[in-house]
């Protein structure tokens, strides 16, 4: 499973203008976040299936649909934290004469 192409206009402004390594770290964070959401959704689906005592032909579609919906709504917010851990954002150093 791979991460769908990311619409660059949907990335946070600071990530869009960041160095390529920072963008890559954020996109890796999004990929991990989507995988985590999909796995949690799969566990939820399995639990519901067990509780209802049956199988639905649509049950296999639920984890991906839930993950797509959550990620389409902005995700859980883990991608930024993961990007910060992978590739911290280094603020620009102030130039000469900058106020301290």
Residue pLDDT tens, the chain, 100 long: 555 666 777 788 888 888 889 989 998 999 999 999 999 999 988 887 777 777 777 778 888 888 888 888 888 889 989 998 988 876 655 555 555 4
Tell me if 92 is assigned to some domain.
no
Alpha helices (runs of H) in the chain, residue ranges in sequence order: 13-16, 20-52, 62-72, 78-86
Domain with 79 in it: 13-86
What is the distance between the alpha carbons of residues 32 and 77, in angstroms, rounded to a whole number? 11
What is the distance between the alpha carbons of residues 23 and 4, in angstroms, rounded to a whole number? 15
Tell me if 17 is assigned to some domain.
yes
Tell me if 36 is assigned to some domain.
yes
What is the pTM for the complete model shown?
Answer: 0.72
Tell me if 58 is assigned to some domain.
yes
Tell me if 7 is assigned to some domain.
no
Count of domains forming the chain:
1
Tell me if 94 is assigned to some domain.
no
Helix axes 62-72 and 20-52, enclosed angle (nearest 10)? 140
Tell me if 97 is assigned to some domain.
no
- Give the containing element (helix H, strand E) for 13: helix 13-16
What is the distance between the alpha carbons of residues 6 and 19, in angstroms, rounded to a whole number? 17
* Digit-coded pLDDT (tens) for 63-89: 888 888 888 888 888 998 999 898 887
Token readout for 67 is 């993950």
């Amino acid at each position: 499973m791979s991460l769908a192409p990311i619409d660059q206009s949907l990335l946070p402004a600071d990530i869009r203008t960041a160095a390529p390594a920072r963008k890559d770290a954020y996109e890796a964070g999004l990929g991990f976040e989507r995988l985590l959401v999909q796995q949690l959704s799969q566990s939820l689906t399995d639990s519901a299936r067990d509780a209802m005592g049956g199988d639905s032909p649509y049950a296999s579609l639920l984890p991906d649909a839930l993950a797509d919906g959550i990620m389409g709504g902005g995700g859980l917010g883990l991608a930024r934290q993961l990007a910060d851990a992978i590739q911290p954002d280094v603020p620009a150093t102030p130039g000469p004469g900058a106020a301290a």
